[in-house]
């Protein structure tokens, strides 16, 4: 089922709508946000100069620091009395990034989520367990509203208290699990330790995961562990929260709701706009947001855009899985690697579980990398020879596939850290604090 007719609009119609909304947004930020007015004046651009989608390129990029510099509400385009909700994303350091919603923004957000949950297979027939943390994070509230909109029975259980989650899942007959992929993996493990066979004892059908990266190998792990159909969805607090894009059942990228977001891919170094299909940094302009409209926002997420029509019938552009973020790419002795590439190698090695941590540090002038990985089977611990062979296999695959030399530490099953929200996979001790 397709939730909204906007998802199947002909391209020329979509572009017409985007242009109309882009013009309104530029006018809106020029009139109401001093930061944008100053930027546009500096560049000698008047809102009337935006006459085609090509003109988007003329507009200035926005970065996270612009939000930080204008903390908390400086980039808002509406007075406080029109704001009905705040959320915030917790940065690793300093103040959070604050985002706000008007009544109309809340309606847009709800509709966007209704689209993505519908494309993932969820309907009024489903019971959906929201295992994202409720609070300032956009994940839980965002999914919650859209799930209710499609008529699903929502269980707002939040994250953590995993054994209780499993009990509720069994007792309430949960059919859709919503959360981060890393927490979902952990939950499957806890279910098994409680003597529950997720495939036989539960009614789960769908897994809708997002908020952090996941590889195809992780999708397979999740599908095998739970016996569910797994889709992922993407979003970002600054842009609206979850609901920017999501996978349909064809699993060939995440459909972006282009009637609300205009995506571009840029080269993160030169800032040049790249043609469709190129891999680069995703930049998004919101064209319907009222409280916090953002022009050409640099997401730092690395992906590519694909415009061919999808088998599902939707005409909206699809973005490929996020390869990583420009700020989490590791440069190891001159070799560029994303943690997701390391994950792919690990998950494709037999005997290795889906939990790992990457540690990077300096030894003299050299970058050193050590990876903690968990065994699936305790029995292997008995055999020194097999352990050594497994370490060598991982090491040589990392060398051949990615060109990096890593020291591997194997750990007993269920000993590495588990995460209830977004997983922290990399500890870079080279960072100057
Ligand atoms: O994570 C919004 C969200 C919640 C999306 C729940 C989907 C589901 P932030 O906390 O602001 O917002 O973090 C945004 O998370 O720039 C990406 O780096 C990462 N991210 C989100 N979804 C995905 C995904 C929410 N499907 C940042 N794949 C983004 C990879 C993702 N990374």
- Report, as an integer, the average pLDDT of 75-101: 91
The answer to whether residues 288 and 378 belong to one domain is no
- Of 234, 257, 218, whose CA–CA distance to 111 is shortest? 257
Does residue 277 sit in helix, strand or coil? coil
The answer to whether residues 89 and 78 belong to one domain is yes
The answer to whether residues 358 and 225 belong to one domain is no
* 348 contact partners, CB below 8 Å, separation of at least 6: 217, 397
The CATH number of the domain where 335 resides is what? 3.30.300.30
The answer to whether residues 284 and 363 belong to one domain is no
The domain in which residue 352 lies consists of: 330-431
Torsion of CA 355, 128, 209, 201, to 10 degrees: 40
* Number of CB atoms found within 10 A of residue 60's CB: 16
- pLDDT higher than threshold 80 for residue 94: no
- pLDDT higher than threshold 80 for residue 431: no
Cβ(237) – ligand 1 distance below 6 Å: yes
Closest approach atom of ligand 1 to CA 209: 8
Q: What is the pLDDT of residue 92?
A: 58
Q: Which of the two residues, 226 and 353, has the higher pLDDT score?
A: 226
Q: How far is the CA of 301 from the centre of ligand 1 (A)?
A: 9
Question: What are the tens digits of pLDDT across the range 281-333?
Answer: 999 999 999 999 999 999 999 999 999 989 999 999 999 999 999 988 898 88
The answer to whether residues 281 and 186 belong to one domain is yes
- Of 330, 259, 327, 323, whose CA–CA distance to 298 is shortest? 327
Q: CA-CA distance, 412 to 423, in Å (whole number)?
A: 20
Give the end of a domain, one of 275, 297, 327: 327
Question: Would you list the DSSP string of 207-258?
Answer: EEEESS---HHHHHHHHHHHT-EEEEEEEETTTTEEEEEEE-TT-SSEEE-T
Q: Which of the two residues, 306 and 335, has the higher pLDDT score?
A: 306
The answer to whether residues 273 and 369 belong to one domain is no
The answer to whether residues 315 and 383 belong to one domain is no
* Residue nearest atom 12 in ligand 1 by C-alpha distance: 236
Give the end of a domain, one of 327, 345, 373: 327
Q: How far is the CA of 234 from the centre of ligand 1 (A)?
A: 5
How many distinct structural domains can be found in the chain? 2
Q: How far is the CA of 194 from the centre of ligand 1 (A)?
A: 30
The CATH number of the domain where 127 resides is what? 3.40.50.12780
pTM: 0.94
Closest approach atom of ligand 1 to CA 213: 30
Pocket test for ligand 1, best of 212, 324, 327 (most atoms within 8 A of CB): 212
Share of residues in the chain with pLDDT > 90 (%): 91
Cβ(261) – ligand 1 distance below 6 Å: no
Share of residues in the chain with pLDDT > 70 (%): 99
Beta carbons of 126 and 152 less than 8 angstroms apart:
yes
The answer to whether residues 222 and 316 belong to one domain is yes
- pLDDT higher than threshold 50 for residue 433: no
* 400 contact partners, CB below 8 Å, separation of at least 6: none
Q: What is the pLDDT of residue 218?
A: 93
Cβ(245) – ligand 1 distance below 6 Å: no
């Amino acid at each position: 089922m397709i939730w909204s007719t906007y998802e199947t609009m002909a391209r020329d119609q979509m572009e017409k709508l985007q242009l109309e909304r882009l013009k309104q947004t530029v006018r809106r930020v020029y009139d109401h946000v001093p930061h944008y007015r100053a930027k546009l004046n500096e560049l000698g651009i008047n809102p009337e100069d935006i006459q085609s989608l090509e003109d988007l390129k003329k507009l200035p990029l926005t970065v996270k620091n612009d939000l930080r510099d204008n903390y908390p509400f400086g980039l808002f385009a509406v007075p406080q009395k029109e704001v009905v909700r705040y959320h915030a994303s917790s940065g690793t350091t300093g103040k959070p990034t604050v985002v706000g919603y008007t009544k109309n923004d809340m309606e847009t957000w709800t509709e966007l989520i209704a689209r993505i949950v519908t494309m993932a297979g969820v309907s009024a027939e489903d019971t959906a367990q929201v295992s994202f943390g409720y609070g300032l994070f956009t994940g839980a509230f965002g999914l919650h509203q859209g799930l209710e909109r499609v008529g699903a029975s929502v269980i707002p259980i939040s994250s953590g208290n995993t054994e209780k989650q499993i009990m509720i899942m069994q007792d309430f007959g949960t059919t859709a699990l919503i959360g981060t992929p890393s927490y979902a993996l952990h939950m499957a493990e806890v279910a098994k330790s409680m003597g529950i066979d997720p495939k036989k004892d539960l009614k789960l059908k769908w897994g809708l995961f997002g908020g952090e990266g996941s590889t195809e190998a992780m999708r397979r792990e999740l599908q095998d562990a739970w016996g569910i159909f797994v889709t992922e969805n993407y979003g970002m607090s600054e842009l609206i929260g979850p609901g920017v894009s999501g996978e349909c059942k064809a699993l060939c990228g995440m459909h972006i709701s282009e009637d609300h977001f205009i995506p571009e891919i840029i080269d993160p170094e030169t800032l040049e706009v790249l043609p469709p299909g190129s891999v680069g940094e995703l930049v998004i302009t919101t064209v319907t947001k009222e409280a916090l409209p953002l022009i050409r926002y640099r997401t730092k997420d690395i992906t590519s855009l694909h415009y061919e029509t999808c088998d599902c019938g939707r005409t909206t552009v699809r973005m490929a899985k996020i390869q990583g973020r420009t700020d989490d790419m590791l440069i190891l002795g001159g070799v560029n690697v994303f943690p997701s590439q390391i994950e792919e190698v690990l998950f494709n090695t037999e005997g290795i579980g889906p939990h790992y941590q990457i540690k990077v540090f300096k030894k003299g002038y050299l970058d050193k990398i050590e990876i903690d990985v968990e065994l699936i089977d305790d029995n292997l611990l008995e055999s020194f020879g097999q352990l050594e062979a497994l370490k060598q296999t991982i090491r040589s695959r990392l060398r051949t596939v990615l060109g990096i030399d890593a020291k591997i530490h194997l750990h007993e099953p269920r000993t590495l850290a588990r995460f209830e929200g977004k997983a922290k996979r990399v500890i870079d001790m080279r960072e100057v604090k």
